[in-house]
């Protein structure tokens, strides 16, 4: 028998990866998503533990379950930046889903306003952007003290487009609550978000408040936020809003010379890698997606950028230093590393597909690929009563084809069309 080639070995590793992902799908939730280490059942303002749990989820690969920095440097790959202080972070290829490096990827931490990515991915498809809504007092009920606001006023009418600009650019909790009211209320919206998180296999995530405001039990992880961002970026409107630098937002309606006139004011994206700041330049190729900051969560951020045809996603949660804009500086360092390491660092895991995609990959149809047809044919020949050795070889061959197909689907490219290639930057 000839010695296995590098390609055969890599294919075998992909098969093992698919099997592990399948195990993660069938594992109990308690195993896939351990109890939060932060103990959020205490108080909303309590700080999370500064040490990651010894046991974390293995969704996406066993290396991602380990505490500490994880990377597999190949020949010519640069070392990880040494001055990244975040408690948790991840660098992944947005299109292939390969995880290039991570630190405590599945540590369940408060997400702050990065939770709005899940809110948008869940609710955005439900309403056309031209739909109008007149705000009533109950729409703005229950907004947390000190929340970021875009400036929505009772009695004024806004389009859905206006409201999403308020969510993405100003991280407006008032805009989130109005859209939640349109979606049958906060309670139903939270239920929808948790269901969508489960569909995405974002099993570290538990939603309590749709806007990401600190709340007991509200957690996510760098891995999950990256999954959510990758899903959201498949939607054209999500890409448009998350990469918009500045826009006009409707203000008060006033009467001038007997006519009602609606004022407007400019809002700017609070993502400093997109809009820039005195100590943070606009990052080359940046295209979103969302930042956050609360007392409990510290600073959080998920960013996506494209360079030389490669699209990377980076999530950073809770840098240890409280220096202004540190979360963006650390994200930029990890993006820089990722672009230099791409093609050299060996993947340590993957961003898993949604459950529906995983289920679909296991169900051969009339339009099945040749590999899938072989599996169906093999199963039929086994049922027909083949002999012992023939049955064994048939089953083995069928299983290998099925696993190879599953590995391909799990690791398939997920293009992000029209993401940044046509965008101008300030």
Question: Is 82 noted as a catalytic residue in this protein?
Answer: no
Distance between start and end Cα atoms, the chain? 60
**Nearest-angstrom CA–CA distance, 183 and 126:** 8
Question: Is 248 noted as a catalytic residue in this protein?
Answer: no
Catalytic residue among 88, 171, 220, 221: 171
Catalytic residue among 17, 116, 242, 243: 116
**DSSP codes joined into one string, 335-355:** HHHHHHHTTTSBP-EE-PPPH
Catalytic residue among 17, 113, 220, 221: 113
Question: Is 264 noted as a catalytic residue in this protein?
Answer: no
CB atoms within 10 A of CB 331: 30
- 74 SS3 class: coil
**DSSP codes joined into one string, 94-142:** TTT-EEEEEESTT--B--GGGHHHHHHHHHGGGS-TT-EEE--GGGGTT
Q: Residues 345, 290, 198, 29: what is their CA dihedral angle, to the nearest 10 degrees? A: 70
**Nearest-angstrom CA–CA distance, 249 and 264:** 5
Q: ∠ CA(34), CA(337), CA(342), 5° rounding?
A: 90
Catalytic residues: 113, 116, 171
């Amino acid at each position: 028998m000839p010695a296995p080639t590098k390609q055969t070995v890599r294919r075998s590793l992909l098969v093992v990866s698919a099997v592990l992902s399948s195990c993660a799908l069938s594992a109990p939730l308690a195993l896939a998503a351990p109890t939060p280490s932060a103990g959020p059942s205490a108080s909303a303002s309590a700080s999370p533990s500064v040490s990651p749990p010894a046991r974390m989820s293995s969704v996406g690969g066993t290396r991602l379950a380990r505490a500490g920095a994880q990377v597999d440097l190949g020949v010519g790959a640069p070392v990880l930046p040494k001055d990244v202080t975040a408690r948790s972070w991840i660098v992944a290829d947005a299109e292939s889903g390969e995880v290039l490096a991570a630190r405590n990827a599945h540590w369940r931490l408060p997400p702050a306003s990065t939770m709005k990515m899940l809110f948008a991915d869940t609710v955005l498809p439900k309403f056309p952007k031209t739909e109008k809504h007149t705000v009533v007092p109950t729409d703005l009920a229950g907004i947390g003290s000190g929340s970021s606001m875009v400036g929505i006023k009772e009695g004024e009418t806004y389009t859905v487009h206006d409201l999403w600009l308020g969510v993405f650019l100003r991280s407006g909790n008032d805009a989130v609550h109005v859209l939640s009211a349109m979606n049958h209320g906060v309670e139903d919206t939270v239920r929808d978000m948790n269901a969508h998180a489960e569909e995405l296999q974002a099993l570290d995530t538990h939603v309590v408040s749709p806007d990401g405001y600190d709340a007991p039990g509200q957690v996510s992880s760098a891995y999950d936020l990256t999954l959510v961002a990758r899903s959201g970026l498949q939607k054209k409107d999500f890409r448009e809003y998350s990469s918009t630098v500045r826009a006009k937002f409707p203000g008060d309606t006033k009467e001038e010379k007997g006519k009602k006139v609606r004022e407007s004011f400019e809002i700017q994206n609070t993502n400093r890698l997109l809009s820039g700041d005195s100590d943070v330049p606009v990052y080359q190729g940046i295209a979103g997606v969302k930042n956050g900051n609360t007392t409990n969560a510290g600073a959080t951020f998920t960013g996506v950028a494209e360079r030389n045809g490669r699209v990377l996603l980076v999530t950073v949660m809770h840098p240890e230093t409280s220096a202004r804009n540190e979360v963006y500086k650390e994200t930029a360092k990890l993006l820089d590393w990722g672009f230099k390491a791409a093609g050299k660092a060996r993947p340590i895991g993957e961003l898993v597909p949604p459950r529906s995609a995983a289920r679909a990959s296991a169900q051969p149809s009339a339009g099945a690929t040749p590999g899938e047809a072989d599996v169906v044919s093999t199963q039929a020949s086994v049922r027909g009563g083949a002999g012992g050795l023939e049955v064994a070889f048939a089953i083995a061959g069928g299983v290998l084809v099925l696993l190879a197909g599953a590995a391909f689907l799990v690791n398939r490219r997920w293009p992000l069309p029209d993401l940044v290639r046509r965008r101008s930057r300030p």
